[in-house]
Amino acid sequence: MTTNLQTPIDYLKGVGPNRADLLRKELGIYTYQDLINLFPNRYIDRTQYYKINQLQQNNADVQVIGKIVAFKEVAQKQGKRLVATFQDDTGTMELVWFRGQKWIRDNLKLNTTYVIFGRTNLFGGKFNMPHPELELIEEHEKNLRSAMQPVYPSTEKLSNKGITNRAISKIIQELFIETGGRFTETLSETLLSELKLIKKSDALFNVHFPKSQELLAKAQFRLKFEELFYIQLQLIIKNLIHKSKIKGFPFEHVGDYFNTFFNNHLPFELTNAQKRVLKEIRADLGSNAQMNRLLQGDVGSGKTIVAFMSMLMALDNGFQACLMAPTEILSVQHYNGLFELCKILNINIKILTGSSKTSERKKTHEALENGELQILIGTHALLEDKVKFKNLGLAIIDEQHRFGVAQRSKLWHKNTSPPHVLIMTATPIPRTLAMSVYGDLDISVIDELPAGRKPIKTVHRYDKNRLNVFKFIREEIVKGRQIYIVYPLIRESEALDYKDLMDGYESISRDFPMPKYQISIVHGKMKPADKDFEMQRFIKGETQIMVATTVIEVGVNVPNASVMIIESAERFGLSQLHQLRGRVGRGAEQSYCILMTGHKLSNDSKTRLQTMVKTSDGFEIAEVDLKLRGPGDIMGTQQSGVLNLKIADIIKDKDILLSARFYAKKLLTEDTSLSKTENEVILNTYKALGKYKNIWNYIS
């Protein structure tokens, strides 16, 4: 009889209601299944026994067999410490306790063989071990505990309530006794033999109680592969269902709007990458399935023109298109950029944001519903129930990680049939992360910059170099260039940020006095109209310096601005630094990015700054960022808990992820409905996973 792994944890011997409650609250363990999937963080190798004369001065945990031959108490500044003399046949060492002395004196036997375990220190030429773990040799030998000791995730609360690492190991041991160590196999024979994977039961046993390093490695590989394989399977199935079930509007022909624009009005020659991406989009729009594509392109790689040309395909087939951006500034910029192009082609385009006037809104709503309005640009305001399209054929979402899943689905339901969807991001997503988080989307990448763009020169300067930096700014202004100076915005302390910005503004005003110099200032506390006024002054070239917080991070396009100075650069993340740098280098002139910091820098800050100076490749930067921050942070708060993995790590296990995706794809190509007998195991596991947890537990 196999135990049902969905049994509540309360029923396991040695747990009981109080412990169960703590395990639920602290570690999210509700069932036997959750407990078996509580994998150790690390292991302490207890396969070796050392002699006292073999001890080395390092910080490794070691175990020694010997006897306690004497105790003594030593007075110290506060209270006393208890010292025991421990010996084996090669020498003696000391065991030291700073607390719990009475219990130890009462419970430890002299001249009895113990196995001690802990970290050693060398003091006055003699080794000592503070607060060792002790076990009688008979106990040590009969424990099911393996040679390598697992160390489980824990919390302070658990330790305080006596649920120590040993206690967790003990209840997992109970679980193995109750189930007889037999667990249902979850992968097919084909996969097991092709990848030489060990059986599920062996993998679970050896991950909790490994007898050797080699068995542990096999167990971990098997479990990591399985976890990533089912995530990929779910994402690919979702994509296949999407393509077969969700019918898109077939855009059957490329017509006048597209051809006129392409042949007569294209402002510059398209790069090969842009042409390739347009072909991929064209193929999606012409098929019968709904397009669901992610377009990645570094800052300035020309995503907007690709988006516009995709909209023209929708218009050529009698449909409307919309573009949703996360901020008002960005929406306005998209609108201004596209308005000129639409004017030439006689296309009706409007913008809708939080600050649109009521009278304007009404007109826009009406024109949208009767189909006169062809393209609508806007912020979250597009999601309001009042906004109704006559026939929305294409929805484009910019910087999609700033919108939650629920917000996106709202846009889908604006139509009886869902529109084609193109998601754009200038935050390059490392390949592994893209495959895991957006594995259900088709991905296009624009990986070359338009001709004539010069790489931006990036340097790191300390605060003491400020006078030289100011001198450089003056020289650039004389050449007719404009300058950004950006201050960090850390939400917790808006008052403090505001002070930083204002102090900065004052000192810059002193060094660059009016009327010779004009300075714009933009920050989050300003009214939208004031912000816009200041932005416009800078765009028109009426001010030479723009002092701002990170509100300008995304999408402000001033080709004449050639210098980006980032104050307290150590307080920014890599992707933010990269986004800010991308605000310059938009014209033909040489542009510069200057990262200003104080002298005290953490190692991570140093790595970030060195990476920025060394490379301007967004994908390379994203890989470094992923290593520094892990996947959860990279996707931003809307996508928090992005990959809530139990054992795999998409950074370290990149190769396993690639292999899992390859085998999931191969399996679904050969047996789309998983109906072959040999894949029954996979189908059952897949269904069970869907019942107890689905991909959205991994991906929010």
CATH of the domain at 130: 2.40.50.140
Q: Which of 113-122, 379-388, 630-639 has the lowest mean pLDDT?
A: 630-639
Q: Which of 38-42, 399-403, 640-644, 677-681 has the lowest mean pLDDT?
A: 640-644
Instruction: Using pLDDT thresholds of 50, 70 and 90, give the confidence band for residue 502.
Output: confident
Are 397 and 310 within one domain?
yes
Residue 640 lies in a domain: no
> Helix-strand-coil percent breakdown of the chain, rounded to 5?
45, 20, 35
pLDDT greater than 80 at residue 24: yes
Are 109 and 65 within one domain?
yes
pLDDT greater than 50 at residue 605: yes
Selection from 430, 434, 393, 423 nearest residue 303 by Cα: 423
Are 466 and 608 within one domain?
yes
**Domain termination residue (choose one: 425, 445, 472):** 425
Under a CB-based contact definition with an 8 Å cutoff, are residues 43 and 151 in contact? yes
Under a CB-based contact definition with an 8 Å cutoff, are residues 322 and 375 in contact? yes
In the chain, what percentage of residues exceed pLDDT 90?
44
Q: What is the CA radius of gyration of the chain?
A: 32
Are 506 and 603 within one domain?
yes
Summary mean pLDDT of the chain: 85
**What is the residue range of 130's domain?**
48-146
* 3-state secondary structure (DSSP) of residue 168: helix
Residue 629 lies in a domain: no
Residue 76 lies in a domain: yes
* pLDDT tens, residue by residue, 302-351: 888 999 999 999 999 999 999 998 888 888 889 988 999 999 999 999 99
What is the model's pLDDT at position 386?
84
**Domain termination residue (choose one: 92, 117, 146):** 146
Residue 221 lies in a domain: no
What DSSP line would sit under 634-696, residue for residue?
Answer: HT-GGG-S----SS--TTTTHHHHHHHHHHHHHHHHH-TT--SGGGHHHHHHHHHHHHH--HH
Are 421 and 466 within one domain?
no
Are 369 and 506 within one domain?
no
Q: How many domains does the chain have?
A: 3
532's enclosing H/E stretch is helix 528-539
Residue 85 lies in a domain: yes
| Domain CATH for 392 | 3.40.50.300
Are 401 and 482 within one domain?
no
Are 397 and 486 within one domain?
no
pLDDT greater than 80 at residue 227: yes
Under a CB-based contact definition with an 8 Å cutoff, are residues 66 and 52 in contact? yes
Select the highest-mean-pLDDT range: 387-401, 458-472, 580-594, 635-649: 458-472
Handedness of CA 183, 189, 191, 192 (dihedral sign): positive
Are 400 and 464 within one domain?
no
What is the model's pLDDT at position 268?
82
Stretch 614-632: mean pLDDT: 79
pLDDT greater than 50 at residue 637: no
Is the pTM above the cut of 0.95? no
What is the model's pLDDT at position 175?
94
Are 394 and 479 within one domain?
no
Stretch 154-158: mean pLDDT: 86
Are 462 and 604 within one domain?
yes
Stretch 675-694: mean pLDDT: 85
Stretch 85-98: mean pLDDT: 94
Are 472 and 607 within one domain?
yes
Q: Which of 49-53, 239-243, 435-439, 569-573 has the lowest mean pLDDT?
A: 435-439
Residue 670 lies in a domain: no
Under a CB-based contact definition with an 8 Å cutoff, are residues 443 and 293 in contact? yes
Stretch 357-375: mean pLDDT: 93
**Nearest-angstrom CA–CA distance, 24 and 158:** 11
pLDDT greater than 70 at residue 632: no
Selection from 82, 8, 85, 89 nearest residue 49 by Cα: 89
Neighbour-count burial for 528-557, b at 16+ CB within 10 Å, e otherwise: eeebbebbeebbeeebbbbbbbbbbbbbbb
**Domain termination residue (choose one: 580, 615, 650):** 615
Tokens of 427: 């935050």
Instruction: Using pLDDT thresholds of 50, 70 and 90, give the confidence band for residue 497.
Output: low
Select the highest-mean-pLDDT range: 44-48, 181-185, 326-330, 444-448: 181-185
In the chain, what percentage of residues exceed pLDDT 70?
90
Residue 220 lies in a domain: no
**Nearest-angstrom CA–CA distance, 493 and 482:** 29
Residue 452 lies in a domain: no
